[in-house]
C-alpha cells in the first residue's frame, strides 16, 4: 500500500509536533516541518510531498496564502489544506481565491484532519488518472485538447477562440464561462471578461497585461491585484 507523504507548514512547534503525531499514527509519512515560506519551498522542492498542510500565518513576511500560490504554479500541482485560527472574512476570502482542498480551524481534531486528508488525496489521485481534456466541436470535427496544451481563450461574440500549442486556433460556439468550468482553476484564470489564460503559458507581463508568446492579453482592473500576485509567485 502506498505511503502518502505530507509536508507540515506551521510556525507553532507544539502544534506542528501534535499534527505530526496524528499523521504518523494514521500511517502517513511526514516529509518535514517548515515554519516559514522559504523553508516550505525548500522542503517541498526536495521532498515532493503528496499533500501540504498550511497555516496561514507563518514566520517571516510571506504567508501561507503566498505558499499556496507557489504550489499551484508547479508542473505537478498537489492538494493543500489550510490549518488556521484566522477565520475572519478577510482571510477566508483570500483563502478561497487559492482553491484549497479544505480549510480547518484550530484546534485541529484528529478525526477531521484524517477525513479531509483522505478526501483530498483521493480527489487528486482521480484527477491525475483522468487527465483533463477539453472537448471542442468546431461545427464539423470534435477535438480533445489536453488542458496543458491550451495557451489562452478569447471570447468573440458567441464564439470562443481556443489558442493551443500544437493544434493552432480552434473555434467553439460556447460561452467563455462554460468552458472555464471544464478547466482546472488555477492555472486557468479569467483575467478579463473576454480572456482566460493558462498561467503556466505566460511569457511576460506588465501591470495592465500579460504576454503569451506574441499575444498581448489585457488584465481587467478588478482582477489585477489577484492576477499579479499569481504571476509574481512564478518568478
In this structure, the dihedral spanned by the alpha carbons of residues 169, 174, 177 and 182, taken in order and rounded to 10 degrees, is -70
Q: What is the pLDDT of residues 21-31, one digit of tens each?
A: 999 999 999 99
Which domains, from first to last, does the chain contain? 5-129 (3.40.50.2300), 133-233 (2.40.50.1020)
pTM: 0.66
What is the structure's pLDDT at 91? 82
Tell me the per-residue pLDDT of 30-88, one tens digit each, with 9 for 90 and over.
999 999 999 999 999 999 999 999 999 999 899 999 999 899 877 677 999 999 887 88
Q: What is the reported pLDDT for 1?
A: 55
What's the average pLDDT block by block, 10 residues per block, for the chain (235 residues)?
Answer: 88 95 96 96 95 94 92 82 87 86 92 95 69 80 88 94 94 91 86 95 95 97 90 77
Amino acid at each position: 500500500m502506498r505511503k502518502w507523504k505530507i509536508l507540515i507548514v506551521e510556525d507553532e512547534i507544539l502544534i506542528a509536533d501534535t499534527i505530526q503525531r496524528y499523521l504518523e499514527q494514521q500511517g502517513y509519512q511526514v516529509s518535514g516541518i517548515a515554519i516559514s515560506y522559504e523553508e516550505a519551498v525548500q522542503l517541498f522542492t526536495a521532498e515532493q510531498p503528496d499533500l501540504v498542510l498550511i497555516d496561514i500565518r507563518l514566520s517571516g513576511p510571506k504567508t501561507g496564502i503566498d505558499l499556496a500560490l507557489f504550489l499551484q504554479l508547479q508542473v505537478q500541482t498537489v492538494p493543500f489544506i489550510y490549518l488556521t485560527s484566522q477565520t475572519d472574512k478577510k482571510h477566508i476570502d483570500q483563502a478561497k481565491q487559492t482553491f484549497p482542498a479544505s480549510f480547518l480551524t484550530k484546534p485541529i481534531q484528529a478525526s477531521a484532519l484524517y477525513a479531509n486528508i483522505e478526501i483530498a488525496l483521493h480527489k487528486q489521485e482521480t484527477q491525475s488518472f483522468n487527465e483533463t481534456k477539453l472537448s471542442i466541436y468546431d461545427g464539423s470535427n470534435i477535438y480533445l485538447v489536453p488542458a496543458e496544451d491550451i495557451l489562452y481563450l478569447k471570447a468573440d461574440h458567441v464564439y470562443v477562440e481556443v489558442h493551443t500549442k500544437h493544434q493552432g486556433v480552434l473555434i467553439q460556439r460556447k460561452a467563455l464561462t462554460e468552458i472555464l468550468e471544464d478547466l482546472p482553476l488555477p492555472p486557468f484564470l479569467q483575467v478579463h471578461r473576454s480572456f482566460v489564460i493558462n498561467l503556466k503559458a505566460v511569457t511576460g507581463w506588465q501591470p495592465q497585461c500579460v504576454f503569451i508568446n506574441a499575444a498581448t492579453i489585457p488584465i481587467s482592473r478588478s482582477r489585477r491585484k489577484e492576477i499579479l500576485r499569481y504571476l509574481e509567485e512564478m518568478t
